Amino acid sequence: MNKRSNWALPYFIFLVLFVVLPLLLIVVYALQDASGHFTLANIGKFFSDGDSLSTFALSIEVAIENTLLCILIGYPAAWILANKEYNKGAVTVVLFILPMWINALMRTLATAELFTMAGIQLGKGTLLFGMCYDYLPFMIYPIYNVLNKMDKSYAEAAQDLGATPREVFRKVTLPLSMPGVMSGVMMVFMPTVSTFAISEFLTNNKIKLFGTIIQENINNSMWNYGAALSLIMLVIIGITTFLQGNDSEETSVGGII
């Protein structure tokens, strides 16, 4: 081993201690019963428990809704930010990123407090609002990045070939910005599936998400079932990542969503 590769050692140790080991522990706990014997019962329990399944379905539903909401609000915002005509300085970009400097938990608590003050009933609406508020920058930024770096001559070429501004957007700008949308989706969708703090504060625990039941199990020392649920979530996230990864490659070449 030469000297330079030694520099990687601290990172390697860090990764083993804080990424690989915890993951292994999750797998080990998930496949054990309370007394430490190997079992698949924890995973079986999830698939036979109606409550868990419906919570899971709800989490996915909320995550999809939140992601769509973020695209709907985030894309036009990113487009305006990337457009030099509307956005003269980079100040506006900073304004969009600024909320991220404040701890997400504090923002969520403050939002909940605002809703209570305004007398708005906490529920699914407030939950989606809070999630969108928290995750919107993660959608805007990658799209903004792609749009900002996009060679202007593509739009000009389309115009030159007879496309109206609307057609330029639909046929060139939008498809070419899909990689940005895809990474935005990944950065929004996955954290929303596993979030629990937002649902706890913004619905007063009325709506339980998948993250919430994992947290509850762990808090109540149900380590094994909690680990099994985490493992299931990891696997599902892993699969969607994989699918989207393939997908975004294709979109950069060809299709619309």
| Binding of another protein by 156 (CB under 8 A) | yes
| Binding of another protein by 39 (CB under 8 A) | no
The residue (of 10 and 254) whose beta carbon lies closer to another protein is 254
| Binding of another protein by 249 (CB under 8 A) | no
| Binding of another protein by 160 (CB under 8 A) | yes
| Binding of another protein by 253 (CB under 8 A) | yes
- Scanning 20-28, 60-68, 156-164, 221-229 for contacts with another protein by CB under 8 A, the matching segment is 156-164
Binding residue for another protein, selected from 81, 122, 147, 172, defined by CB under 8 A: 172
The encoded tokens of residue 88 equal: 């003269």
| Binding of another protein by 85 (CB under 8 A) | no
The encoded tokens of residue 222 equal: 């149900």
Q: Which of residues 122-151 bind another protein (CB under 8 A)?
A: 151
Helix axis angle, 124-149 relative to 104-118, nearest 10°? 130
Binding residue for another protein, selected from 10, 50, 119, 254, defined by CB under 8 A: 254
Binding residue for another protein, selected from 12, 14, 18, 154, defined by CB under 8 A: 154
Which is nearest to 201 in space by CA: 106, 60, 65?
A: 106
Q: Cβ of residue 173: shortest distance to another protein, in angstroms?
A: 11
250-256: list long-range contacts, CB under 8 Å, 24+ apart: 251/175, 251/178, 251/179, 251/182, 252/176, 252/178, 252/179, 254/175, 255/175, 255/178, 256/174, 256/175, 256/178
Binding residue for another protein, selected from 64, 80, 93, 163, defined by CB under 8 A: 163
Which is nearest to 135 in space by CA: 108, 171, 170, 169?
A: 108
| Binding of another protein by 175 (CB under 8 A) | yes
Binding-site size for another protein (CB under 8 A) equals 20
26-35: list long-range contacts, CB under 8 Å, 24+ apart: 26/227, 26/230, 26/231, 26/234, 27/227, 27/231, 28/227, 29/223, 29/224, 29/226, 29/227, 29/228, 30/224, 30/227, 30/228, 30/230, 30/231, 31/228, 32/224, 33/224, 34/224
| Binding of another protein by 20 (CB under 8 A) | no
The encoded tokens of residue 147 equal: 């749009």
Distance CA 173, CA 115 (A): 38
The residue (of 113 and 167) whose beta carbon lies closer to another protein is 167
Binding residue for another protein, selected from 60, 109, 176, 234, defined by CB under 8 A: 176
Binding residue for another protein, selected from 157, 239, 243, 257, defined by CB under 8 A: 157
Cα radius of gyration rounded to whole Å, the chain: 22
The residue (of 159 and 244) whose beta carbon lies closer to another protein is 159
Q: Cβ of residue 83: shortest distance to another protein, in angstroms?
A: 16
| Binding of another protein by 162 (CB under 8 A) | yes
Q: Which positions lie near another protein, rule CB under 8 A?
A: 151, 153-154, 156-164, 167, 171-172, 175-176, 252-254
